[in-house]
């Protein structure tokens, strides 16, 4: 029993280090093996794989491939996706691109399994976000340094003049869209850390970092991620609205806007044009960008039909775009849309399953938010809800997210949180339903916080909760 506990401790420490290392890009610290950049993060993952096979040989396996009921579908889907990518070898054209895509999907599976086994408590998930926050601060500092000094350490030389002219922050991410996606996720991670900070000084610090991240996101000029931030913020506001009438009013306004845009799509184009003027975009450049993106999507649809709905194969959308395009894309081969990349590259079946996985992940976080009795669970689940909502739009900004290691790590943390079991107290809250008074809410939060610290709840408080359940029944 003690040996198993020690193994779990080692696994969790490796997982924390993997999170930290994922935000140090291969262009910052890596060993050049000619055909492969061995970064600190990749070394960590290889070490995890080595430990897994070693434990199998020694018959002391402590890593379960398929997790708990809560995230079993998510892990099974990730395994299926990786297997399908491997099988696509039989119809792909570009084998190097195929190998890269298979590597990143396999990496995702390893991270999901590792984090699901390593993190069994909400406090551990919060620690993950705090590790993220440390790197977020460093990337913020790097972004501001680039804006002020106009000096780029980790950017391709061919892009430096362009980025200096438009004063774009990029940090180590290679382009503004990838950095903007990172900032979109970062804002809500920082919000969670701020809500759980113990000292007032740390709360102020996190608020400053949130403002910094929002400003840097604005400076990247990434329209999709700015729109994603608006959607994510709307979810944050919505989930914090306890008045049903206010919720209904907000919902009706949002629904009317959606209907209006569906009936008159040109209004959306005018809105983007207005945003472009506000953000000092070049109108012609914005129009050209939209046209090229539309042509990329059209070509993707044609490729899907040509492959009988099976997709081009892992990593091969770019090859088809370069060699079989019907519509002009001005030499751009990446499809610039995460959702279409999955549909075009991996086919209809994987795409439908991915939508199911995404919806179920959102639903799981929503249920945890509603049942939460501690500030940690309340804020962590809300963070993931906002990120999932914002990424729906933010995911269409980057040329491709398949190679974003830090993003795979983040989703692995969300899936690990999805698999956390609710204790008896949380099930009691779910049974009680919506709390009616502030006194009930306060007592439940106190009891929940004691549970998080491993303390036993007072008998009278436990009885009070049971009494609430009987009353609500």
- Distance between CA 445 and CA 457 in Å, rounded? 11
Residue 431 sits in the same domain as residue 414: no
The CA-based angle 418-420-426, given to 5 degrees, is 110
Same domain, 435 and 379: no
Close Cβ partners of 245 (under 8 Å, ≥ 6 residues apart): none
pLDDT for the residue 141: 94
3-class state of residue 90 by DSSP: helix
Q: Does residue 120 sit in the same domain as residue 163?
A: yes
Number of H helices, E strands in the chain: 19, 2
Calculate the alpha carbon distances from 441 to 335, 359, 434, 444 in Å: 48, 29, 10, 5
What's the rounded Cα separation, in Å, for the pair 340 and 346?
10
Does residue 462 contact residue 446 with C-beta atoms inside 8 Å?
Answer: no
Torsion of CA 49, 54, 56, 60, to 10 degrees: -120
> In terms of domains, do 375 and 454 share one?
no
Asked if residue 457 and residue 371 are part of one domain, the reply reads no
Of the residues 407, 422, 437, which one is the last residue of a structural domain?
422
Rounded Cα distance, 392 and 338, in Å: 9
Structural domain boundaries, residue 383:
2-422
Find how far residue 66's CA is from the centre of its chain: 21
Enter the tokens of residue 332: 């751009």
pLDDT at 434: 45
DSSP 325-337: -SS--TT--S---
Quick check: helix, strand or coil at residue 397?
coil
Distance CA 179, CA 173 (A): 6
Are 353 and 462 in a shared domain? no
343 and 242 belong to one structural domain: yes
Q: In a structure prediction context, what are the per-residue pLDDT tens digits for the chain, which is 473 residues long?
A: 455 455 567 778 888 888 888 888 776 666 766 666 777 888 888 887 777 777 666 655 555 566 556 788 999 999 999 999 999 999 999 999 999 999 899 988 988 988 888 888 889 999 999 999 999 999 999 999 988 888 888 787 778 888 888 888 898 888 888 899 999 999 999 999 999 998 999 999 999 999 999 999 988 888 889 889 989 988 888 887 765 665 676 677 677 776 766 666 665 565 655 455 444 444 444 446 678 888 888 899 999 999 999 999 998 998 999 888 888 888 888 888 889 999 999 999 999 999 999 999 999 999 999 888 888 999 999 999 999 999 999 888 887 888 888 999 999 999 999 988 765 445 444 444 444 455 555 555 555 555 544 444 444 445 445 545 443 43
For residues 443 and 349, membership in a common domain is answered with no
Whether 90 and 162 share a structural domain: yes
**How many domains does the chain contain in total?**
2
Q: Which pLDDT score, from 0 to 100, does residue 403 have?
A: 83
Tokens of 44: 């960590």
Does 340 lie in the same domain as 282? yes
3-state DSSP assignment of residue 93: coil
321 and 435 fall within a common domain: no
Query: What per-residue confidence (pLDDT) applies to 282?
Result: 44
385 and 279 together in one domain:
yes
Q: What does the chain come to in residues?
A: 473
**354-to-66, 347, 351, 360, 411 alpha-carbon distances in Å:** 18, 11, 5, 10, 13
Q: What is the pTM of this model?
A: 0.81
């Amino acid at each position: 029993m003690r040996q198993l506990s020690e193994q779990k401790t080692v696994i969790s420490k490796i997982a924390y280090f993997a999170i930290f290392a994922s935000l140090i890009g291969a262009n910052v610290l890596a060993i050049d093996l000619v055909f492969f950049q061995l970064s600190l993060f990749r070394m960590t993952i290889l070490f995890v794989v080595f430990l897994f096979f070693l434990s199998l040989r020694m018959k002391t396996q402590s890593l379960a491939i398929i997790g708990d009921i809560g995230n079993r579908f998510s892990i099974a889907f990730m395994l299926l996706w990786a297997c399908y990518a491997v099988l696509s070898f039989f119809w792909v054209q570009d084998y190097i691109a195929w190998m890269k895509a298979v590597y990143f999907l396999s990496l995702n599976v390893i991270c999901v399994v590792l984090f699901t086994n390593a993190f069994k408590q909400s406090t551990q998930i919060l620690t993950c976000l705090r590790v993220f926050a440390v790197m977020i601060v460093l990337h913020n500092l790097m972004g501001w340094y680039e804006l002020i000094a106009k000096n780029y350490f980790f950017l391709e030389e061919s892009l430096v003049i362009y980025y200096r002219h438009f004063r774009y922050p990029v940090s180590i991410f290679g382009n503004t869209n990838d950095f903007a996606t990172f900032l979109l996720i970062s804002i809500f991670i920082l919000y969670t850390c701020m809500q759980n900070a113990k000292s007032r000084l740390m709360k102020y610090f996190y608020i400053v970092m949130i403002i910094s991240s929002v400003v840097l996101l604005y400076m990247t000029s990434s329209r999709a991620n700015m729109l994603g931030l608006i959607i994510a913020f709307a979810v944050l506001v919505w989930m914090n609205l306890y008045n049903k009438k206010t919720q209904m009013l907000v919902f009706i306004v949002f629904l009317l806007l959606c209907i209006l845009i569906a009936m008159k799509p040109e209004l959306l184009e005018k809105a983007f044009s207005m945003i472009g003027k506000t953000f000092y975009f070049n109108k012609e450049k914005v129009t050209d960008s939209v046209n090229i993106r539309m042509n990329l999507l059209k070509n993707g649809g044609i490729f899907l039909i040509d492959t009988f709905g099976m997709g081009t194969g892992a990593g091969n959308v770019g090859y088809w775009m370069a060699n079989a395009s019907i519509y002009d894309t001005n030499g751009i081969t990446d499809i610039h849309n995460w959702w279409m990349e999955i549909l075009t590259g991996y086919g209809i079946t994987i795409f439908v399953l991915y939508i199911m996985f995404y919806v179920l992940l959102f639903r799981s976080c929503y249920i945890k938010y509603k049942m939460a009795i501690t500030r940690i669970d309340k804020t962590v689940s809300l963070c993931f809800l906002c990120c999932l909502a914002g990424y729906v739009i933010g995911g269409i900004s980057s040329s491709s997210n398949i190679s974003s290691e830090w993003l795979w790590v983040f989703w692995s943390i969300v899936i690990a949180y999805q698999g956390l079991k609710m204790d008896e107290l949380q099930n009691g809250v779910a049974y009680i339903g919506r709390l009616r008074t502030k006194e009930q809410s306060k007592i439940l939060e106190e009891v929940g916080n004691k549970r998080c610290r491993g303390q036993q709840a007072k008998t009278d408080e436990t009885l009070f909760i049971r009494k609430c359940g009987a009353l609500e029944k």
